[in-house]
Amino acid sequence: MWHHSFMCKPIFFQSLPSDDLETEEIHLPDESVPPQEERKYLVFHSALLQLFSLCLLCGSGKQKLRLETIGSFLSITQICTLCEHVRTWSSQPFIRNTPAGNLLISAAVLFAGAIPQQALNVFACLRLHCISARTFFRHQRMTLHLAIKNVWSRKQEGMFAALHEGGQALILGGDGRADSPGHSAKYGSYTLMDLRTKKILTLQLVQSNEVGSSNAMEKEGLARAIDFIRRNCTLQIGKIVTDRHLQIAKWIRENLPETCHLYDIWHIAKGLRKKLSALAKQKECEVVGDWTNSIVNHLYWCSTTTREGAGDLVEGKWLSLDNHLHNVHSGHSEAFPQCAHGPLRRQWLKPNTKASVKLSAIITKKSLLKDIRKLSPKYQTAHLEAFHSTINHFAPKWAAFFYMGMLSRLHLAALHHNENCGRGQARNKDGERIYKIRYKKFKKSCTVQAVQGSCTFDYVTELTEEAVRLCEEAIVDDDLMEIPPTLTSTSGADRLNKEAAIQAHRTRFSIDE
Ligand SMILES: [Zn+2]
Ligand SMILES: [Zn+2]
């Protein structure tokens, strides 16, 4: 029998080829560690019963066992039918009244950013005794949301303390994210990042039914985020870099008059490229397609080679393009009289052709020139875009979440991002930097990319410790039910009655109980 060889020949395992083999010797009594740090093993029913096959007192093999489970917790009562000796054994410790394994499963599912129903299905497929979805949501509501809130608040306090110590005016990047349409509850989140450290300082979650359109949601998110910064930080907001939404620009002009508002290049370049591609598809304008990449590169060059605030120079550089495209390389403007390049051979545009006229119109358009004067030369919001894909891991757009679930997952994404945004390039055993080569389809070319070091998950350890502490001390926070927060302004918004909103919210939560 299998279990026979298991008991007699443990050496058998060492002859099995496996990457996962680890061996260890332990002398009893072993030192005790907190439940979240203890290792857990997957034990099969048949293997477990072997441990209860004999009476510890009289050695008889005639035993009666009573098995009781609470989720992942198992207790076995062993009764000897010969000498009536009773022995009780538990598979895991308790944290106050909760089996530790049950709370830790809920914590692991949420903190890893897994979707509970999927994770619990994995256990069900394995026929592993596990908690129900109801229990998961109870743990989440009673303990885990609060654990995330506490840990995130502590991290924020630490970040603001470090910023105050530095004493420099803040350089912020802001961007909004809307979830996909079609969900019954529609959220928008707004993120403010410290562009020096690339760390998320605050995240605000807005429900569309609070404010209406998604543009209004973004503006409300920004207003709440700035309000939060103001309440927690006395430093001046020196610069803020965003994309070029008109409503956002207006709000910043009116509410942050001391702050320099700059635009992220990538967002402007994206809009420009779209216009150029559309033009290149028109008849007699195919030549524009050959110029698209150069024009977009020129936009980056104009901004990144010009010091911030030199609006005339950056505009002069940009407008020189209109001459350059027609093979004219000097006499551009006072700020930027001539091109900086050497001799070039290209397919120049012919004046007064359709392509020339239409392309000039795009390049010299007033609104574009206004945007170009406000391009941010140094600080961009690319890391915010990257953060949005981290959010997609923790809160995938196909999954629907209640308000607190969504908020907790946003904070998890921020904790993950902040811990890992500063990690450097991966190195091999000899300490050399690791690169990977990416081959581009169709182009027969390749690019070399630095491989990032692996992520760390210290925040998960901290969150789990906090969850265990809250459970141990029976701490709950009723305020977490009093959400979503009230609007920063009530003008023009079809604001819900707060009482009704809370009532509706509680009713929705009770479905999960
Ligand atoms: Zn006995
Ligand atoms: Zn030129």
Q: What is the pLDDT of residues 99-142, one digit of tens each?
A: 999 999 999 999 999 999 999 999 999 999 999 999 999 999 99
318 alpha carbon – ligand 2 mean position (Å): 11
53 alpha carbon – ligand 1 mean position (Å): 11
Which ligand is closest to the CA of 60, given by its number?
1
Cβ contact 82:55 at 8 Å: yes
Give residue-wise pLDDT tens across range 301-355.
999 999 988 889 999 999 999 999 999 999 999 999 999 888 888 889 898 999 8
| Chain position carrying tokens 């109980």 | 513
Which ligand is closest to the CA of 329, given by its number?
2
Q: Which two tokens stand for residue 239?
A: 């610069």
Q: Which two tokens stand for residue 217?
A: 């949601």
Tell me the one-letter amino acid at 254.
Answer: E
68 alpha carbon – ligand 1 mean position (Å): 22
Which ligand is closest to the CA of 84, given by its number?
1
Which ligand is closest to the CA of 340, given by its number?
2
Find how far residue 496's CA is from the centre of its chain: 29
321 alpha carbon – ligand 2 mean position (Å): 7
Q: Which two tokens stand for residue 280?
A: 């290149």
CA–CA dist 143, 147 (Å, integer)? 6
Predicted pLDDT of residue 375: 93
326 alpha carbon – ligand 2 mean position (Å): 9
Q: Is 212 left (phi over 0), alpha (psi -120 to 50) or beta?
A: left
CA–CA dist 161, 194 (Å, integer)? 13
91 alpha carbon – ligand 1 mean position (Å): 22
Q: Which residues contact 394 (CB under 8 A, 6 or more apart)?
A: 113, 409, 410, 412, 413, 416
Pairing of strands 435-440, 445-450: antiparallel
For helices 382-394 and 403-420, give the axis angle rounded to 10 degrees. 130
Residues of the chain with pLDDT under 70: 1-17, 179-185, 441-444, 481-513
CA–CA dist 429, 64 (Å, integer)? 55
Which ligand is closest to the CA of 339, given by its number?
2
A 10 A CB-CB count for 303 gives 25
Which ligand is closest to the CA of 321, given by its number?
2
A 10 A CB-CB count for 127 gives 8
Predicted pLDDT of residue 61: 96
85 alpha carbon – ligand 1 mean position (Å): 5
Which ligand is closest to the CA of 64, given by its number?
1
Predicted pLDDT of residue 272: 95
82 alpha carbon – ligand 1 mean position (Å): 5
CA–CA dist 193, 220 (Å, integer)? 17
Predicted pLDDT of residue 499: 46
Q: How many CA atoms lie within 13 A of 371 on its CB side?
A: 23
CA–CA dist 145, 407 (Å, integer)? 9
**Domain boundaries in the chain?**
266-373
Q: Which two tokens stand for residue 275?
A: 């216009």
Predicted pLDDT of residue 496: 39
Three-state secondary structure readout of 55-81: CCCCCCCCEEEEEEEECCEEEEEEEEC
Q: Which residues have beta carbons under 5 A from ligand 1 (an ion)?
A: 55, 57-58, 60, 80, 82-83, 85
Which ligand is closest to the CA of 342, given by its number?
2
Strand arrangement, sheet containing 237-242: 199-207, 187-194, 170-178, 237-242, 260-263
CA–CA dist 91, 190 (Å, integer)? 44
63 alpha carbon – ligand 1 mean position (Å): 8
86 alpha carbon – ligand 1 mean position (Å): 8
